[in-house]
Chains A and B, each alone.
Chain A
Amino acid sequence: MSTFKEHKTIADRAAGDRTRHRQKIEKAIKESIKDVVAEESIIGQNGNKKIRIPVKGIKEHRFVYGANKNNKQVGSAQGKEVNQGQRIGHRRRQRPTEGQGDKPGNQPGEEMYEIEMSLEELAGYLFNDLELPELEKKSFKFTTQEKMKRKGKRPYGIRPRLSKKETIKQKIRRKKAAIKAGSYDPESGERFTFHESDLRYKHIAPVKKENTAAVVFFVMDVSGSMSKSKKFLARSFFFLLYQFLNHKYSSIDVVFISHTAEANEVNEDQFFTQVPSGGTLVSTGLKKVEEIVEKRYHPNNWNIYTFYCGDGDNWSIDNKESLDAFKRLKEINQAMCYTEIGKLYDYREYSLFAGGNPEKRLWDWTKLAEDKNFKRIRLQESKDIWPAFKKLFGGKS
Chain B
Amino acid sequence: MADWSMEELQDWDNKICSLGKKYGLDWYPIDYEICDYKEMIGHMAYTGLPTHYRHWSFGKSFDRIQTEYNLGMSGLPYEMIINSNPSISYLMTENPMPTHVLTMAHCVGHSDFFKNNRMFAETGADTAIDRFKASGKRVKKYMEDPNIGVDAVERILDACHAIKYQVPRTPGIKRRSHKEMKEYYKRLILNDKSGRWNSFNLNKLPLEPDTNLLAFIAEHNRHLEEWERDLIRIVEQESLYFIPQACTKIMNEGWACMIHEKIVNELGIPDDYYLSFIRLHNQVVRPHLGRINPYHLGFKIFKYIEKNHGFDECLRVRETHSDESFLKNYLNEELCKELNLFSYSFHQKDGFNKITEVSGEDTWRTVRDDLIKGVGLNSIPVVMVKELLKDGTLILQHEHDGRDLELSEANKVFEHINELWPGEVRFTTIIEEETWEF
Contacts and interface: CB of A to CB of B under 8 A. Distances in A.
Do A and B assemble together? yes
Contacts of A184: 72
Contacts of A175: 72
Interface string B68-79: 001111110000
A168 interface: no
B370 A74 contact: yes
A6 B379 CA distance: 39
Contacts of A101: 408
A291 to B, nearest CB: 54
Nearest to A86: B355
B232 interface: no
A191 interface: no
A183 B75 contact: yes
A75 B383 contact: no
B393 interface: no
Given A14-B42, A74-B342, A76-B289, A65 B406 contact: yes
A94 B59 contact: no
A85 B404 contact: no
B133 to A, nearest CB: 13
Interface in B401-416: 402-410, 412-413, 416
A189 interface: no
By DSSP majority rule, is chain B's interface helix, strand, loop, or mixed?
mixed
A76 B345 contact: no
A48 interface: no
Nearest to A1: B17
B177 to A, nearest CB: 26
Interface in A341-386: none
Given A60-B158, A91-B351, A19 B59 contact: yes
Contacts, number: 260
A90 to B, nearest CB: 8
Nearest to B431: A66
A17 B60 CA distance: 8
Contacts of A14: 41-42, 45-46, 58-59, 62
Interface residues of A, number: 72
B45 A2 contact: no
Interface stretch (B49-57, B114-122, B193-201, B266-274): B49-57
B36 interface: yes
A177 B373 CA distance: 32
Contacts of B29: 1-3
Contacts of B38: 12
A144 interface: no
B380 A62 contact: yes
Contacts of B381: 63-65
Contact of A60 (B36, B161, B289, B293): B161
B340 A69 contact: no
Interface of B: 6, 9-10, 13-14, 17, 29-36, 38-39, 41-42, 45-46, 54-60, 62-63, 70-75, 86, 90-91, 104, 150, 158, 161-163, 165-166, 287-293, 296-297, 338-348, 350-358, 367, 370-371, 373-374, 379-381, 383, 398, 402-410, 412-413, 416
Interface of A: 1-7, 9, 12-14, 16-22, 24, 58-80, 82-89, 91-95, 101, 107-110, 173-178, 180-181, 183-184, 195, 197
Ordered nearest first, which 9 A-B pairs have the shortest CB separation? A17-B59, A178-B72, A18-B59, A61-B412, A21-B59, A66-B406, A67-B346, A20-B56, A74-B371
